[in-house]
Structure formats: structure tokens, C-alpha cells
Structure 1
Amino acid sequence: MDAPGGRKIHSGFIPSMGGIGFILATFISVAIWFSYENLLETRFFLAAFGLIFFVGLRDDLVNLTAWQKLGAQVVAAYMVVVMTDIRLTGLYGFMGIYDIPLWSSYLLSIFTILSLTNAFNLIDGLDGLAGSLSLIPLVFLGWWFASMDMMSYSLFSFALVGGICSFLLFNWHPAKIFMGDTGSLSIGFALAVLTVYFIDTNANSLGVMGVKFAAPIATGIAILIVPIYDTSRVFIRRMMQGKSPMSPDKSHVHHFLMRMGFRHDQVTLILISLKIFFIGIIFLGSNFSDYVMLPVVILTAVIFGLKLDAITLKQVKKNNSKAPPILAKRKNKTKSTTSKTKVSAEILEDAKISNN
């Protein structure tokens, strides 16, 4: 059970670890639909995905330290990068860099997978938010892998989509169950690995099959723009305030939207619309290189973020100006307490006279 209080914004005790349902459903779907060749191709990825699932499950049952979780994530990322060879092989012409040394490729790929996994884990703060935000990139990646005849990863993406859709029936506001780290870490890891694989495969493809995006790095960022921007923004703000970037607070994008008066479901729909908007941008600019699309994607995200901060601050000030002063609240509370005490004394007096 996830208890309320602290930084939690839900009321009442809500069952957690809902990720067990849709992650197990994904594995069952894989067992049904995958051929022997599919399983052979993805065996290390599926093993790493299972490892992350058990790490999240363990963390939900008994809180693990940050280093314990990070250590397990490094092992899972190593399995994918080194054993499956899903990695970033270079910068694909950006800044004149094409191929990079093998050890640099390994380090860059593991760092990217770890960063994206934990960035997605951090946005799991509202009813239906993490699940909804994962559906759009998973559908996009499943479609793209299918267009490239990479059916193993396409089937996996769509199997995970099916599990998450069924979970959202119970996780939509007001949520009856949360996914917990069991779900958010698993989804984050899957999205991170699939996005890295997409970037490298798209960049090195000849464009004979499927849709080729001329800006692979910008496209990968646009796919996961919400967790990437939110985590970067939060870490920068904390460091500017002299805090540890890992210190918890309520400065995430969804917290700001909540302060503007939006409900959980409204915040989720707003962020889903933003993600669809950014994916629309990469389709419109599919023929432009990273030299064009990277500044477009990053600057658009920064402008939206700064505008959101300004609107939120204005709305909070407006709400505070309408609220009664704290002293007035205390005065009213004191009067209310005094009145209740007086009535109680009268009741006691009446009871005493009746007894005589």
C-alpha cells in the first residue's frame, strides 16, 4: 500500500506494485507470439528487462538504496549494450563526428540507458501519467520497427502497449492502483533501450525500408521529450539553489501544472498533447539533419518550459491574493473553538440541573 503524506499528493492508502500485472502480461504475450528466432534475437534484452522488473519489485517490497538500484541497472544495461550490441555507435555526423571508439560507445550507451530509465521513473507522480506518456513512444517505436521488418522489437513494443492499456483502466484518475517502481523502472528501461536501438538503426539504415529520419538524435530526444526535459530542468534548478540534484521536492512539471488548478487527468492530457506535438515536429522535419532539428526540438521545449513557469507563478500569486490572510484563518478557528466549548458547557449545566 502507498501511504499518503510527505511529498505524496494522493489521499488515502492506494495499492502499489501494479506493474506486476502488465509486466507479467508482456512476458506471457512474448511467450505466445515470439518464434524461436525472435527469442534468440532478444534473449539478452528480455533477461535484462526481467532483471529490472525484479529490482523494481524488490524496491517496492523493501526499499533499496540508490547505489543498489544503480548497480543492478548497470548490469542490465551492460547485458543489452555488450551482449546484444544495442548501442550508440557515434554521433552520426553531428559536429562532424561519425564513428567513435568501441569503449566510448559502450560508456555513452550505458550512460544514456541509465539516464533515460531514471528520468522516466521520476515522472511517475500522477494518476495515469507514466503509463499514458509511455504509450505514445511505444506505439511509435512498434510501428517503426515493424516498417523495418524488425518484428522481434515491434512485437515486444506492442505487447507492452497492451499491458499498459489494461493497467490504465485502473490507474486513470482517480487511481485504484499505482504501478510502483516495479512498473516505472521496467517501462523506463524498455523505452531507453528501444530508443537507443532506434537511433542507431535509423541512422545507419539506407532508407530502402520504413521511414528514415535524417535527424536520429533529435528524433530520439523528441520521443522522450517530457522525461528528458523535466529531469534536466529539475536537476539544474536544484543545483542553482545549492541543493543536491537527487534531493526530492515538488518542482516537476506535473507539480507546476497541479498548482495551476488542473486535475490529475487534465495534467496527463496536457503532457500527452505536448508529446504528440513534438512527434509531429519530427515528422514535419524528417528530411532535415540534426544541425536543424536538435536546436528546434531543444529550444521549443525550453520556451514551453519557461512559459509554463511564468504562467504558474502568475496563477499562484493570483490564488494567494484571493485566499484569506493566515491571521484571519486563525481568528476564525479560535472563534469556532470557543463557540463549541461554550455550547458544551451549557449542555453540562443543563445535565447538572436535571440531576438535582
Structure 2
Amino acid sequence: MFFFLAALTAFSVGMISMPILIKILRKAKIGDNPGGRKIHTSFIPSMGGVGFFVASLVAMSIWAWQFPLPDIRYLLGAIAIMFIVGLRDDLIEMKASQKIVGQLIAVLLVVVASDIRIKDLHGFLGFHELPLWFSYSFSAFVLLALTNAFNLIDGLDGLAGTMAMLVFGFLGTWFLVQGLESYAVLSFTFLGGILAFLMFNWHPAKIFMGDTGSLLLGFTQGALIIAFMEYNATLPEDGFLQFEPVFTSGIVLMLYPLYDMARVFTRRLSQGKGPMTPDKSHVHHFLMRMGLKHNQVALMLGALQLSFILLIFVMADVSDHIALPIVSALALFLGYRLDKITVKYVKRKVHKQPRILDMKSRASRKHAQVSLDAEKLKSSKINLN
């Protein structure tokens, strides 16, 4: 009941504060203007992350004191730092190097101070306990990758919020079942805040989350996923909701952002571009080219993400050596089919459209017809008075 009330509190605070935030941001003209790679057609306030961060903070301050918070105090501090990094980038754009330094501070606070890290590969690829230096380095890399992968998918109304809702819902339930109450209350308060944000971010969006929100959500999900993987690995084999494929279960929770990032980076590098060069090669851009609307794309990708999460329940007793190749092959196959279908659809659409010369010919005939009609009108005996 406490966790439901925590989520409900965050949702209520978010619903009350979001319209106020939208009004303030509109007056301050802080947001995204249309044009360039932007899909929207009018000015939309950004920095919606402020709304669900405040909502989660208020809910945590009311309900979380009943649980042993000292074990996540450094995580909470790191989340606050990542929020400030995103806020600073939305207000005054930061250099890539400055942003990475800010993210590294938050990451090290989680990996080193909070000791939320990947400590053991549990026999995957023949590796077991990792050396301390490698565990720190590898965990920091994974957390940075998860943070920025999620940041990259925030380009469509409701998409990032839908993905975050699925992850926080799963993690909150799992942590609660396993008795990890401090992690559970954190997950549920973020879930409530995200649900409130989605009420205003669903198409047509009234506000975007901005880097303030996407970096915050990506980082928080990444840290909780690493914690989930490590606690899951310590459960007995016959434990309730124990997943044998430790790494596959963690990867699946962020499968879409990771796949989209890998796909986009590969395409850009193959075209001789830098991996961070902005373009319209994301999965959601391809689906939009097929004529789908924002909400349809968000629901479709959300349903696919949910399907992979359910798949990990089916493969709960299978090792990573089997589960990871199956998940990877399925994701690659679906991506390949998407590319083929999209290209075929676009070619058909272009073929049906009139060519430029035909359009000019039609326009000239129409103009001649109008001129001819005007000449006939002048020579007619109709009384024009």
C-alpha cells in the first residue's frame, strides 16, 4: 500500500505542477522551435524533466523515510547531479566534454561510493569475478552507455516516457517482491512522476522532457538495472522471479534504446559521418516515414519492448549463452525487416507522386485555361455592371 501511495503522490504532484511549469516555460520562451530535424510544427516548452523530478522528490520525502535509505543515499545524490547536468544543458548548451565530465561525476558516485556495479560475470563467456579496476571501468562504461542510449530516443511525443514507464514498473515490482524496499520506493515514485508527465507529453505534446528529463531517466534506469542484475544473481536458483540469464534480463529492459543507438551509430559510421552527427535515421523516424502518427509509433515500440520483457520470463531458466543470442538475433531480424518495409513503402509512395515536370506541365495548362476563360469573358455580351 505504501508503494502505491508513493506512486500516487508523485502522480498527483506531477499533474498539479506540470501545467504551472508549462506556463512558466512558455513565458520564458524555453523550449524547442520547429524546423531542422524537429518533427513538431510549433513552439513546445522543454525541460519537462523538472516536473517529474520535483514530483518524485516530494513523494520520496513523504514516504521513503520508512525504509532504509542510507543504502541508496549516494545514488540519490548522483541522481540530483545528473538532473543538474541536464538542467544546465537545457538552459545553456554545454560542450560535449563538459557534459561527459558532469555525467562521470554522477557515474563514479554510483559505481564507487554506492558500490552499484557489475562485480561478477557468473560464468558468462568463461569469466567469473572481475578485478576491482575492471569492475569499476566496465560498470562506468555500461552506465554511461545506458544513460546516453536513452537520451537518444527522446525524439517523439510519448516515446521515451512510455519506455521509462515499462522499466520502472517492472523494476519497482521486482524490488518489492525481493524485499529491496528502498529501491522499490525510488522506482515507484519515478513511475508516478512519469505517468503524470505522459498526460502532457502524449501526442500532441504540450511539453517535452528535454535533456533535464532524458539524462535523468536514462541514468536512474541504468543504475537500477545494474542493481537489479547484481541482486538477481545472488538469488537462489529456485527463488521467486530469479532470472538465470542475468545479463540478458538487464539488457532486455533497455533493449530498444541500446538497439537504436547501435543501429544509428553503425549507419553514420558506414556513411563516413561521426557517430554523434544528428540525422533522421532513428527507428522512430523510419516509422514516421511510413505514415504512422506519434502515438501509433510510441504504442508500437512500447508493445515491442514489453514483448521482449515478457520473453525473458519465458527464458527465465535459460543461461545467457542461449538467451542473449536469441534476443540479439530477434532484435536484428525485426530491425532488418523494418528497414526493408520502410524502403519499399517510401519507394511506392514516391512512385505514386507526380513528377516535377508533370506538375509544371499541369500548372501551365491550368494557367492557360484561366487566361483563355478571361478572354472569353471580355468578349462576351454579359452585362458586367
TM norm. shorter chain > 0.5: yes
Q: Which residue of 1 aligns with 2:107?
A: 77
How far apart are 1:203 and its partner, in Å? 1.2
Q: How many angstroms apart in 2 are the aligned matches of 1:126 and 1:334? A: 40
Bigger mean CA deviation after superposition, 320-329 or 300-309: 320-329
- Residue number among 108, 118, 133 corresponding to 1:88 in the alignment: 118
How far apart are 1:48 and its partner, in Å? 0.5
Does structure 1 residue 103 correspond to structure 2 residue 133? yes
> What do the CA deviations read for 1:8-61 (whole angstroms, capped 9, x no partner)?
011010111111111111111111111265331211101110111111111111
The answer as to whether partners of 2:33 and 2:43 remain within 8 angstroms in 1 is yes
Q: Which residue of 1 aligns with 2:296?
A: 266
| Structure 2 residue identity aligned to 1:262 | L
Q: How many angstroms apart in 2 are the aligned matches of 1:340 and 1:78? A: 73
Does structure 1 residue 162 correspond to structure 2 residue 206? no
Q: Which residue of 1 aligns with 2:63?
A: 33
Bigger mean CA deviation after superposition, 27-36 or 61-70: 27-36
How far apart are 1:200 and its partner, in Å? 1.3
Q: Which residue of 2 aligns with 1:24?
A: 54
Give % identity: 48
How far apart are 1:335 and its partner, in Å? 7.2
| Structure 2 residue identity aligned to 1:295 | P
- In the TM superposition, structure 1's runs of 4+ consecutive aligned residues that sit over 6 Å from their partners are 334-343
Q: How many angstroms apart in 2 are the aligned matches of 1:335 and 1:175? A: 43
The alpha-carbon distance between structure 1 residues 43 and 314, as it changes in their structure 2 partners (threshold 3 A), is same
SS in structure 2 of the partner of residue 178 of structure 1: coil
- Residue number among 235, 244, 253 corresponding to 1:214 in the alignment: 244
Does structure 1 residue 229 correspond to structure 2 residue 265? no
SS in structure 2 of the partner of residue 158 of structure 1: helix
- Residue number among 25, 32, 36 corresponding to 1:2 in the alignment: 32
The answer as to whether partners of 1:257 and 1:267 remain within 8 angstroms in 2 is yes
Q: How many angstroms apart in 2 are the aligned matches of 1:112 and 1:314? A: 36
Q: Which residue of 1 aligns with 2:17?
A: none
> What do the CA deviations read for 1:299-318 (whole angstroms, capped 9, x no partner)?
00000000000000000001
| Structure 2 residue identity aligned to 1:182 | T
Does structure 1 residue 302 correspond to structure 2 residue 332? yes
| Structure 2 residue identity aligned to 1:238 | R
- Residue number among 353, 360, 372 corresponding to 1:323 in the alignment: 353
How far apart are 1:209 and its partner, in Å? 5.2
Q: How many angstroms apart in 1 are the aligned matches of 2:126 and 2:243? A: 18
RMSD, aligned CA? 2.0
How far apart are 1:210 and its partner, in Å? 3.8
| Structure 2 residue identity aligned to 1:298 | S
- Residue number among 170, 176, 180 corresponding to 1:146 in the alignment: 176
The alpha-carbon distance between structure 1 residues 147 and 225, as it changes in their structure 2 partners (threshold 3 A), is same
Bigger mean CA deviation after superposition, 310-319 or 30-39: 30-39
How far apart are 1:208 and its partner, in Å? 6.5
> What do the CA deviations read for 1:47-85 (whole angstroms, capped 9, x no partner)?
110111111111111111111111111110000000010
Matches within 5 A, 1:46-85: 46-85=76-115
Q: How many angstroms apart in 2 are the aligned matches of 1:315 and 1:287? A: 40
> What do the CA deviations read for 1:213-249 (whole angstroms, capped 9, x no partner)?
0001011111111001000111111111111111111
- Number of residue equivalences: 344
Unpaired stretches in structure 1, ≥5 consecutive residues: 344-356
Q: How many angstroms apart in 1 are the aligned matches of 2:363 and 2:106? A: 56
Does structure 1 residue 202 correspond to structure 2 residue 232? yes
| Structure 1 residue identity aligned to 2:345 | Q
The answer as to whether partners of 2:67 and 2:181 remain within 8 angstroms in 1 is no
How far apart are 1:206 and its partner, in Å? 2.1
Q: How many angstroms apart in 2 are the aligned matches of 1:244 and 1:200? A: 34
- Residue number among 299, 317, 323 corresponding to 1:293 in the alignment: 323
The alpha-carbon distance between structure 1 residues 42 and 311, as it changes in their structure 2 partners (threshold 3 A), is same
Q: Which residue of 2 aligns with 1:349?
A: none
Q: How many angstroms apart in 2 are the aligned matches of 1:173 and 1:224? A: 23
| Structure 1 residue identity aligned to 2:211 | D
| Structure 1 residue identity aligned to 2:356 | I
The answer as to whether partners of 2:75 and 2:110 remain within 8 angstroms in 1 is yes
